[in-house]
Amino acid sequence: MNGVTDVLVVAPHPDDDVIGCGGSIAKHVRDGARVTVVIVIGRERSALDDAVTDSQFAAETQAAAKILGVHRCISFDEPSRDFTLSRRVHLDLVRVLREVRPQVVYLPHDNDDDVEHRMVHQLTTEALWMAQSDFFQEAGERPMPAPRLVLGYEVWAPMARFQYAEDIDGQIETKVEAMRAYVSQLRHAAWDEGIRGLARYRGALSAGSGHAEVFQVLSLSTHPSAGVPGGDRD
Ligand SMILES: [Zn+2]
């Protein structure tokens, strides 16, 4: 194939990328893709998190990205609970899209239980359109070509229906290990075992066994390999 496949993952908060599509990220990396993660909102401020400093938390995020093999992790650091969908934040994402020019894009599915996840879904679908248009020159002059594939992942609300399942049997331990890098989050709940259980359930549901991540297909080009991990292989 000509050139490296670029993948962009938009995560509302640190660790949403790991939970939603960490196995698929590791699989893209295995296949030689370059994965960029954008984390839109900064860490949640709660009394439970007071024991962790900002730099410790940033180190957890970096460690998780390294385990998955993420090429670049960009934090917008928008304020949690005060996050609004401004023109500025749209343009920030358009700028990244026009720079990375991803063939595959991951974002939260459209009906997650968390309001900030739904906002980031809306932000990303809008920015995808903006980045492909001839307008918004202040966010980069060259419009982005349409991605081959846009997939919605699940975090806090399992999807009742999905259109695509990715087999992550070979990546489940990497995904769990990346989750374990978020030591501060595991103090609240056993998310590492939670994501293993969800992947196991999705594996049974989609293939009868193994581990899987499932997705809402939000946009799919007619390109034959469509950009899924392994799709560029012969
Ligand atoms: Zn989140």
Q: Is residue 233 part of a domain?
A: no
Residue 227 maps to a domain: no
Residue 13 located in a structural domain: yes
* Angle CA 117–123–18, to nearest 5: 45
Q: Give the separation between CA 61 and CA 178, rounded to whole angstroms.
A: 9
Residue 139 counted as domain residue: yes
pLDDT of residue 53: 86
Give residues with Cβ within 8 angstroms of 217, minimum separation 6. Answer: 149, 150, 151, 152, 163, 164
List per-block mean pLDDT (blocks of 10 residues) for the chain, which spans 234 residues: 87 96 98 98 69 88 97 94 94 98 97 94 97 94 95 93 97 98 91 96 96 94 58 46
Q: What is the pLDDT of residues 120-137, one digit of tens each?
A: 999 999 999 999 999 999
Q: Report the number of distinct structural domains present in the chain.
A: 1
- What's the CA-to-centroid distance between 111 and ligand 1, angstroms? 13
0.85 surpassed by pTM? yes
> Which residues are placed with Cβ below 5 angstroms of ligand 1, an ion?
12-13, 16
180 in helix, strand or coil?
helix
Could you tell me the residue range of the domain that residue 151 belongs to?
6-220
The residues with which 153 forms a beta bridge, in sequence order, are: 108
Distance between Cα 177 and ligand 1 center (Å): 19
Question: Residue 111 is part of a domain; what is its CATH number?
Answer: 3.40.50.10320
CA separation for the pair 121, 156 (Å, rounded):
13
Determine the distance separating the centroid of ligand 1 and the alpha carbon of 121, expressed in angstroms: 11
Classify residue 16: in a domain, yes or no.
yes
Distances (CA, A) of 30 to 34, 68, 146, 168: 10, 10, 24, 12
Looking at the domain assignment, is residue 232 inside a domain? no
